[in-house]
Structure 1
Amino acid sequence: MKFRFDDQPHQAQAIESVVDLFEGGALVPPQGVIGQASGAAGHAGFQLDRSVLAQNLLAVTTRETVEVQDTLILMEETDLLEQPRDFPNFSVEMETGTGKTYVYIATALRLAETYGVRKFVILVHTVAIRAGVVKTFEQTREHFRAKYPHLDYQWRVLGDSQAVPDFADPSSNVQFLVAGISSLDKPASNTLYASPEQANLWNREATGIAQLAQLRPVVLIDEPQNMGTSKRRKTIATLNPLVALRYSATHRDPYNLVHRLSAKRAAELGLVKHVSVKGVVAGASGQPYLHLMGIRSRALRGTTRWLAELVIDAAVGDRQTVVLAPGTDVQDESGGLAQYQGYIIESMTRSELRFENGVTLATGQTLGVDGLSVWRDQVRHTIRAHLQKQADVEQRGQGLKVLSLFFVERVADYIGNVATLPAMFDALFREEWARSGRPAAAMPDPATLRVHYFPSTKTGIYKDTSGKASEEGFEARAYDEIITNKEKLLDLTNPRAFIFSHSALREGWDNPNVFQIGFLRHTRSDTERRQQIGRGLRLPVDQNGNRVQDEATNRLTLVVDESFSEFRDGLNAEYGGAGDRPDVENEDHIVTIHLRPDKFQSPEFAALWQRIRYRAVYRIERVDEATLAATVATHEHLDNLRNIQRRANVVQSADLVYDDRGKVITTDVTVAETSGERVVLAGHRLPNVVQMVEDQLQHGKFPLQLTRPTVVAILSAIPTHYRAGAIHDPGYWARIVAHVIRTAVIEQMVQNIEYVPVDEAHWWDANVVFLDSETKNKPLAVPGQPTPSSGVAEAPIDGANLHDYVDYDSLVEKSFAELLENHRGTVKLFTKLPRRFRVKTPVGEYSPDWAIVFERDGEEHLYLVRETKDTLNLDDLEWDEAMRIRFATKHFAVAPRGAVDFTSTTANAGIRVANG
């Protein structure tokens, strides 16, 4: 079986966002180099016009869903050989599973075809990603050679024999060198930095690293957030890049971000599987529940303070995560639960804490639950979901092989004399097979369905690893097997369908037909939930290698050992900013919403869509400095500065404990702390509050770039009686002032903004915004609240709704939909607009709630867009929410294909149509 590749719009957009940066003379090759041998000099003769690059950056970021940028940010770094370097960097953000590796290889080939560049270094940080890149080259070989028949290209892996000499070969071929960052960042021990024993043909006596630097390659960085240390930045600079292109789903420092495809957006477009979670919540075992997530230290005024992060039961609500210091009584933290009596933290080390009652708890350990019973439930529900999924795809005739993946943290749990998982799986498979109603005679031997991949030595001894560089050799052997067997596992004639893999190998797993993942582990990392989702997001392929585009099929189920709400809240914390995370759904409550074809093809919808489908960009006049300073100086929120109080001393108390030689061995964890006298900073240099305010403006929820003179003018205008807080607590003072400035600036933008429709070729496509069917999570009613505050409700069969269900986010929306259905004499058609339909605003993208065709006086049709809230007063809403609505008013006021009436309303206020 071979994977099939085609040109997908989201990938083409990502490719164009980079290729277009270099048009118009931004990248000038030597005369006659395009399509011909570039010579031993590589890209040394190429010229980058950075002013044109900046102009192109502005053009690209204006059309993309990223922050508009007209200033080119360079990486300026001294390399590992003490040579100063500076070069442009551009970043592309793409969610895992949407073809990031394909995109940067395709981008490189487009750059080669269009501008004549020939040398590309692909930097990766793990052997898993390296193996995946090589596999992508192998899988796409025929596809790219058909797409670029005039381009010959080769790839080599740094470390292979002759990899560097082949890369430096002065031919017209396009050359890729796949390199692990750890194979480049050790000049003292790396042979690349050593002089060759004999001269080479092209660069005579140059070292290997010098040969690479002389070529000035285009550097493609995979997951650059893992290469942000000073040493690794220097390593990148040592390659002397012509330009660096950075690709990741989670950039930490997005240099010149030119394209974004977030996790949420990818899910909305159907580019990845949707995610369901089945949580297994451990029952009590007679002991109080305690789970030690970790122990961390914090430097505080020259000392180190140890803190333990624990999960405990709470007197009210679900389990809670608490951070506790020595001397803390867990019973108090739980709200007085009796089972925690005597659990007072006595001491702790880096990996263990001790309670005064003698109980000890190691990092990752859990008290109060039966761990094996949790595993049994996880394995059981994974098998159950697997059998149901396979039955579903067989019924649809999709020719899909369904795979399930278990991550195991310890090899001994699966292999060896004390291994429990193989026998557990086999017994549970037999039970679930019988439960599904399948004939016993047709049941395969469960042992033939299992396959495992673990890190190993050359002699085949399996090992536990943790992803460290020193363990790369062990993990590489497992990745080779995973990558080599990827297609084999997808063959329906291959019985292997349940994969057990080591938790350290998470990044290597991207088999598209993984539909269920069970994570059987002893500890939880800070990014584990994101890693769980990422391993199964890719869309599945059938026996012919074709991608299956079926939303009902494309669903990933995670079977986890925590409640759904815990998983959701934890995932939200890992993703951080709103809008970047995919929605996860409770698998047990799913409804499919269908588009009504007669409504979708009706003249009413066609007329409505023609009026609202346009996209627009906005322009804003320069903020007036004097007006802004005056607005800030009189802003009501400055009153919060009155509440800033002086900081206080910390009084530390501890007994001195001596060893036999008279040395004090008192540990940091025994130090008690109390508050002392308030202090005034005297005789010390105060922090630069101007810089602190600038930092707050640039890194807040809505980043804002103001010149330093403007910031100074604003701070100078703040009344004197508000300035004392800058001495007492500079950080808090800067946060308040920055918030007031940001509020004032954006409120001025509302007055000065101008929206301009873009070319019609870039308007919204109805077939992209409105899908034939979508699955939604339907929450259950809870006692005292028979109607969930969000969910789906069935629409009347003969109603005006474009869909057969209403997808509502609040009871206000549900009531408004009912109101529309009750006005069928005037409401000819309406729809809840999918979140895929968006309006750009300076405070983030905005998705309005409703689009309506309204008939007035039996003749005239009005085309309405409505936002529903529980108040008509925008000042009662969250500030950024109100701002989006105000900006949207300006957007809909410039509708180019006929008037669109936009406003906000409530269920009680109704449709709010002005009399004609």
Structure 2
Amino acid sequence: MKLKLENLIYQDIAVQSIVKVFEGTEKNTFDSACFEGIRSNVSRLSKEEVQESIKNICFENGVNQDVANLSSDKDICVEMETGTGKTLVYVKTIYELFKHYGFTKFIILVPSVAIRQNIIGTFKSFDKQLEDIYGFTPSAFEYDSKKLTKVTQFIEDQHPQVMIMTLASFNSEDKILNQAQREDLFNNIPFIEAIGKTNPIIIMDEPQEGMDTDNSIKQIAKLNPLIKLRYSATHKVIKNLLFRLTPFDSYKDGLVKKIEVLTVTEKNDEASLKIELTDIQIGKGDPKVKLKAWHLNNSNGKIDFKNTAWLKEGDNLGDKTNNPSYLNYKISRINKSLKTQKWTVVFTNGAEVLEKQIAGSLENIWALQIEWLLHRHFAKTQRLLEKNIKCLSLIFIDRVSNYVGETPIIKNIFVKKYKEIYPEYYGGKIPSSEEIQAVQGYYFAQKNSGEYADNEGGVKEQSKIYDLILKGKEELLTISNPVQFVFSHSALGVGWDNPNVFNIATLNNSYSEIKKRQEIGRGLRICVNQDGQRVYDALNVAESDRINQLTVIPNETYETFVTQYQEEIKSVYGSTNAGAGMSHSHKGIPADEVSFKRNTSSEIEQAFRKYWTALAQKTEYTMSFDEDNLIAESAERINKIEIPDFVIEASSFLINEITEEGQNDTFQGSEKVIQKSTFTPLDLIEEISENTGVSYNTLFKIISRLHNLDQMIKNPPRFIHEASVIIRDVELNEMIRGLDYQITGESYPFDFTDFIKNISKEGYVETPHKGVFDKMLVDSDVERNFSLDADKDAEVVCFLKLPSWYKIKTPIGNYEPDFGLVMKRKSLKSGSESEFYFVIETKGTNDINDKKALKESEIYKIRCAMKHFQKLGLEVQYKAPVKEYKYFKTLADNSINAN
């Protein structure tokens, strides 16, 4: 099997966002980028030019400057939800940067073996398909300190080089790359210094995994990068965030699997004697703790799992909870380990509760989790086989010894439950021990001694199963391969994924939120069939027919996180326009060479030439700005701001079920406490200035006119945000008001010939009747429907998708309108026919003030274009935004009748 390369619009936007950063760079050649035998990446763009490009790209992508955290540092962030193909995005970015600018030196930094192996697998999976597109294949290799000839080749070669390495390769002075006293130095300098002379572009995969420590920053700086590109779904440090694909957008547009949470709870759960260590108090005296346990209420007999009061050594948990089941739990010791730095509560009966873990009867919970995992797995396997798709399940466990140790509790439970449940789905057949063993795969970290560890340090190539899981993604996906269940601990928590993981059970007890999001992410990718082709669901697919659904079977603490995870999608990332907006056109179909031929109609040719003569005139703009209007209108609108009290709310919900539409819960009560806020006037001025670009002097004048500063005191950050939005809006209005276009006397040439495009069927429509070309390029369903309707309209003489080189200059970058159209209509009075010329901008709305459907930059460019076309005169009429063709016809009718 070979995974198929797809044409996904959101991935192309992410790739081109990086490419645009270097616009204006002279293409590197042997003569311009080779010094003392070292081939380098060279860009003579100033820091200011790069920053201006970054600012404009953020604006185009709808990334707010506050979110982007614009910085002069050589760092650029790309945020993509787990499972949406960020590895392939930066691999394609490497190809594009060489194609456009001749950059040849790239270093991919990874935090783990799993991620490194995934990157190597990506290069191998798509090398032939990418070579067919770009005409070359870069030399991609793992750094190996025993193979320094590869490093020498990296430094010298003219061909694109990609070195994949971990921070551990050079993060201390004794590493081979840093050594200055060796016989095999490069030109008598340490290899790290020679690499630095190449000015590599550094790609940081999951930089939050240890790449932002003081030592890491210092060591990476030795590589003297041209720029650092940071890719992650969970950035901790954000600088110059150019592109954001949020979980909300990923779910909304069907780019990842939906999540089903199958909660496992025991009947009479209060009998499990669960205990959690939830809080520690350290003061002058002995430490105290709060424990979460089952409390008995004598008045109504109700049992609640809740926190105790502060407990100390000698306290009896049975007495404190009024629950006789805990009378044997007397605290004998509260201690913090020097080795792990974690707190432990030890009871007189020998039981221990470790910080951020549960103590109780976990085996019963694990058994139920595995039981339901098997039910889901077998049911999905039978349904997916009909569509030629293999089903995989992933099981995260608490300790490696529980699967491969002397008493492998979890493995024994799995075997027992497999034998019990398998016959229900396969006609009563009893599986043999050999068959059960064959369906299991596992990947755990191993120490150099050969002992298994609960972390990833020192992973070695261990066995055939290691190769299959970590390296053989395509082999694992084939139905003929028997492995269907993969067991792991932390080693597959980051970087590893497989598109056909449909079920995840978590038999561990960690509370780490980022880790949990990463674990869920192992199964978010859209599935593939046996041809390596991704299989998508329709957006309106019925629940019973959905293919891409990940079932998560959590323990209790994990269920809590999944709820938080879904709330993050709906609320933390904002609203329906969170992240980069895109249409549902992502279903990848392999691209083919498609010929676009000019229409041979003489009527179309004649009309189009006349139309183009009017349309092709170029303009330049000038701007003036009225500061007094800005101050007056901003102050007037800011004075109307009303801020609710800043409160911290504690709420309690009993969760009944979680579905993809949201969660069904029972409200248990809440408490609100009004908070006090502090601020200084200079902080207010500084933050608004950073958000709007308005000078301190102008802002002082605006603030001096405000009489609602009591609203600001309630919640300064929210007031600053709302005031900044108002000022930016007024700024744009003032810029438009003072914008003027002048015709330059130059025109775009009439340069329309047949052409060939490497594009999928989703990227064009047939327009044989009225199209200037027999096919029309389209980027969305809106453009597709507009083209089809225009091609059927008897009043249309001709139309075309305007070429990308037809640009209108605006203060925030060039604007490319969508369609040009010529319409003919006969006068009822005179009987004569007249032609009318239009330019149309299609969007997902007909309302230019619809800020949910339109980005701020789109609104601004449309308003600039209106002024441009006004300068061209009445001959060319501009209609924007337009969602459907019938709305355009209404606008056209109004314009024609008015004339």
**TM-score, normalised via structure 2 length:** 0.64
RMSD: 5.1
Contact 1:838 1:845 in 2 (8 A): no
Give the equivalent residue in structure 2 for 1:281. Answer: 265
Residue of 341, 354, 358 corresponding to 1:362: 354
For the residue of structure 1 that corresponds to 2:493, the secondary structure is helix
SS class of match (2:492)? helix
Match of 1:141 among 124, 127, 131: 127
Question: What letter matches 2:354 in structure 1?
Answer: A
Instruction: Show the counterpart of 2:717.
Output: 738
Task: Return the alpha-carbon distance in structure 1 between the equivalents of residues 416 and 192 of structure 2.
Answer: 56
Residue 370 of structure 1 and its aligned partner are, at CA, apart by 2.8
Alignment match of 2:40 (pick from 27, 39, 43): 43
Aligned-partner residue type, residue 216 of structure 1: N
Asked if the contact 1:193–1:207 (Cα under 8 Å) also holds between the matched residues in 2, the reply is yes
- Aligned pair partner of 2:61 in 61, 64, 67: 64
Q: What does the per-residue CA deviation read over 1:74-101, in whole Å, with 9 as the maximum and x for residues that have no partner?
A: 555xxxxxxxxxxx32221111112111
Relative distance call for 1:630 and 1:230 in structure 2 (3 A) is farther
Preserved CA contact (<8 Å) 2:423 2:430: no
Q: Aligned ranges for residues 828-867 of structure 1 at < 5 Å?
A: 845=852
- 1:427 paired with 2:416, answer yes
Tell me what 1:212 maps to.
195
Q: Which residue of 2 aligns with 1:809?
A: none
Query: What CA distance in whole angstroms lies between the structure 2 residues aligned with 1:75 and 1:896?
Result: 43
CA distance in 1, matches of 2:642, 2:536: 53
1-side partners of 2:720 and 2:548: how far apart?
A: 45
The within-5 A match list for 1:325-724 is 326=311, 348-350=334-336, 351-353=343-345, 361-367=353-359, 369-395=360-386, 398-436=387-425, 438-440=427-429, 445-458=435-448, 460-465=450-455, 467=456, 471-473=457-459, 482-550=469-537, 552-562=546-556, 566-572=560-566, 578-579=572-573, 624-625=630-631, 628=634, 637=643, 689-690=680-681, 693=684, 708-709=696-697
Question: Structure 1 residue 194 and structure 2 residue 179: aligned?
Answer: yes
> CA distance change for structure 1 residues 738 and 568 in 2, over 3 Å: closer, same or farther?
same
Distance in 2, matches of 1:250 and 1:840, equals 35
3-state DSSP of counterpart to 1:361: strand
Q: Percent identity?
A: 24
Is residue 2:105 matched to residue 1:105? no
Cα separation, partners in 2 of 1:311 and 1:711, compared to 1, 3 Å: farther
* 1:864-875 mapped onto 2 (5 Å cutoff): none
Tell me the amino acid that sits aligned with residue 241 of structure 2: L
Q: Deviations over 1:581-630 (max 9, x none)?
A: 99xxxxxxxxxxxxxxxxxxxxxxxxxxxxxxxxxxxx999893465457
| Equivalent residue letter for 1:135 | G
1:435: Cα distance to partner?
Answer: 2.3
Q: Is the 8 A contact 2:290 2:310 kept in 1?
A: yes
Q: Residue 107 of structure 2 contacts residue 162 of structure 2 at CA under 8 Å; is this kept in 1?
A: yes
SS of aligned partner of 1:103: helix
Contact 1:697 1:738 in 2 (8 A): no
Q: From the superposition, tell whether residues 72 and 272 of structure 1 become closer, same or farther in structure 2 (CA, over 3 Å).
A: closer
Deviations 1:365-422 (A, max 9, x none): 535x531111111111111111111111123xx2222111111221221123311223
TM-aligned CA deviation for residue 326 of structure 1 = 4.9
* Cα distance in structure 2, aligned partners of 1:5 and 1:49: 36
Task: Structure 1: state its 5+ residue gaps.
Answer: 77-87, 583-618, 645-685, 724-732, 770-835, 849-890, 901-916
Q: Output the amino acid matched with 1:738.
A: P
Q: Who is 1:614 aligned against?
A: none
Maintained 8 Å contact 1:113/1:151: no
Change (3 A) 1:427 1:142: same
Which stretch of the first structure deviates more once superposed, 280-289 or 341-350?
341-350
Q: How does 1:749-768 map to 2 (within 5 A)?
A: 764-765=780-781
Q: Deviations over 1:749-785 (max 9, x none)?
A: 67776699xxx9887425999xxxxxxxxxxxxxxxx
Question: What amino acid is aligned across from residue 194 of structure 1 in structure 2?
Answer: Q
1:291 is displaced (CA, Å) by 3.6
Following superposition of structure 1 onto structure 2, how do residues 241-252 of structure 1 map, counting pairs within 5 Å?
241-252=225-236
How many Å separate the matches in 2 of 1:304 and 1:130?
Answer: 47
Q: SS where residue 114 of structure 1 aligns?
A: helix
Asked if the contact 2:330/2:349 (under 8 Å) is kept, the reply is yes
Give the alignment of 1:797-812 within 5 angstroms. none
Match of residue 608 from structure 2 = none
C-alpha displacement of 1:153: 2.9
**Corresponding position of 1:236:** 220
2:188 partner amino acid: E
Cα 1:621–1:564 change in 2 (3 A) is: farther
Partner residue, 1:10: 10
Secondary structure in 2 aligned to 1:472?
coil
Cα deviations by residue, 1:176-231 (Å, 9 ceiling, x for unpaired): 111212322212x222221142365xx41111110111111111111123322222
Q: Which runs of 5+ in 2 are unaligned?
A: 337-342, 539-545, 577-622, 649-676, 737-775, 786-842, 856-878, 889-899
Q: 1:502 to 1:175 in 2, by over 3 A?
A: same
User: Residues 294, 693 of structure 1: CA spacing in aligned structure 2 closer, same or farther, 3 A cutoff?
Assistant: farther
Q: Which residue identity is paired with 1:445? A: E
- Alpha-carbon distance in 2 for matches of 1:346, 1:634: 61
SS in 2 for 1:231: helix
Q: Deviations over 1:136-180 (max 9, x none)?
A: 222222222222224553433253511663344423211111121
Distance 2:701 2:531 in 1: 66
Question: In 2, distance between residues paired with 1:70 and 1:286?
Answer: 45
Using the alignment, how far apart are the partners of 1:555 and 1:624 within structure 2?
Answer: 51
The SS at the match of 1:28 is: coil
Comparing 189-198 and 154-163, the one that deviates more: 154-163
Task: Normalising by structure 1, report the TM-score.
Answer: 0.63
CA distance in 1 between counterparts of 2:783 and 2:678 reads: 55
Query: What letter matches 1:193 in structure 2?
Result: N
Contact 1:128 1:505 in 2 (8 A): yes
The AA in structure 1 aligned to 2:197 is: Q
Would you say 1:178 and 2:178 are equivalent positions? no
Deviations 1:548-568 (A, max 9, x none): 224621111111123997344
